[in-house]
Structure 1
């Protein structure tokens, strides 16, 4: 955990939140592994803050389910397990399809143009094999649909789910052949959105997430064998 950055803030509530986000990112990126203990004194020293915001951040992490407070052992990292991944992708299939349906009904011509530009950039950087750009644009494509569905509750829910599995989405998109397939699927979804066809947009989005789920679980199984 040597990569922690020192955090400065005069607002105690803001400081606790920033400490929370820093530790959460480390857990979700796999830099802090499941089973590891979060030691207040060590985190306090590494972050350059007092133990109070660290303690509050750990409580916040417990409420998210990423950390469990165990008697006589302290805060133990749970992280994201296989069942969590299965559940998150299944939930995404249900509600991200709805986001695409609503986006198809509500998108403006300007929003269609913006989404088309993202697809064009995805195809360009895939030809260049630029993994960093591919991952960024993949996230941006989905986030724009969340925004364009024009539902704040749905947008916030999906953004939280994507944040939880960002490490795994990078693994999936970065696997051999998946980027090309994902972008082809994005292109089909985009065309349905541009045609304001909610049924097709929803159907294609569900299929896209199902394919991503199958690809990711296959990678995980292969790594363990």
Structure 2
């Protein structure tokens, strides 16, 4: 019987990093907020050392910056950064869709269709609050299939680099849900046909439309 190796416990620095990353990405800690190592340490029940290590990692991610006499501050990204973010997502995720069309297996396609079907069910029940995370899994699943060595990791890094407030998700807008689900369906059909050109074009258009919606908001 196959056995799995025990997974090492998360270090305190990893724990602090994961908490702060989630809070910044979801804008629970908004841009411009000062992060004091001592205050974070007390809130999370750890010493200052792992907090400082986590802050260095967030600085490498360009999510925080250090200023004289102010310490660490969450970066407040403006409209130019928003345009660059969605443009980069379109390129990376579009490439992922094109590559995925040439190598996707029936099992992998079935997994993506299950995610899509769950989104359709939740949308029908009015559970729009669940759709954003499911959409993230759908997009990153395609990127992982298209580029398991590098591209999937880069797609995650791009998404992690820009905090998107939960209230800014287009999936919370009833008028957007239908068209976005239809876009996912068309992408799935292109993947099933192994049509990489169509899959890439559809993914790029889909991501760019999300960017336009965010800019209007």
With the length of structure 1 as denominator, give the TM-score of the two structures. 0.85
Which structure 2 residues correspond to residues 124-139 of structure 1 after superposition, within 5 A? 124-139=121-136
Count of matched residue pairs: 209
Kindly indicate whether the alpha-carbon contact (under 8 Å) linking 1:192 and 1:198 is maintained by their aligned counterparts in 2.
yes
Match of 2:203 in 1: 205
The answer to whether the aligner puts 1:61 opposite 2:54 as a matched pair is: no
- 5+ long unaligned stretches in structure 1: 1-9, 220-225
Kindly indicate whether the alpha-carbon contact (under 8 Å) linking 1:103 and 1:150 is maintained by their aligned counterparts in 2.
yes
Kindly indicate whether the alpha-carbon contact (under 8 Å) linking 1:28 and 1:166 is maintained by their aligned counterparts in 2.
yes
Q: Which has the higher contact order (CA 8 A, sep 6+)?
A: 2
Q: Quote the offset at 1:87 in angstroms.
A: 0.7
Q: Quote the offset at 1:21 in angstroms.
A: 1.8
Match of 1:109 in 2: 106
Q: Quote the offset at 1:47 in angstroms.
A: 1.2
Secondary structure in structure 1 of the residue aligned to 2:141: helix
The answer to whether the aligner puts 1:30 opposite 2:52 as a matched pair is: no
Q: Quote the offset at 1:43 in angstroms.
A: 1.2
Secondary structure in structure 2 of the residue aligned to 1:180: helix
Match of 2:3 in 1: none
Secondary structure in structure 2 of the residue aligned to 1:76: strand
Match of 2:74 in 1: 77
Q: 1:131 to 1:176 in 2, by over 3 A?
A: closer
The 10-residue stretch of structure 1 (78-87 or 181-190) with the greater mean CA deviation from structure 2:
78-87
Q: Quote the offset at 1:201 in angstroms.
A: 0.6
Match of 1:153 in 2: 150
Q: 1:216 to 1:171 in 2, by over 3 A?
A: same
Kindly indicate whether the alpha-carbon contact (under 8 Å) linking 1:28 and 1:80 is maintained by their aligned counterparts in 2.
no
Q: 1:32 to 1:69 in 2, by over 3 A?
A: same
Query: 1 CA distance for matches of 2:163 and 2:191?
Result: 24
Q: Quote the offset at 1:107 in angstroms.
A: 0.5
Query: 2 CA distance for matches of 1:191 and 1:105?
Result: 13
CA RMSD between the two structures: 2.0
Query: 1 CA distance for matches of 2:17 and 2:31?
Result: 17
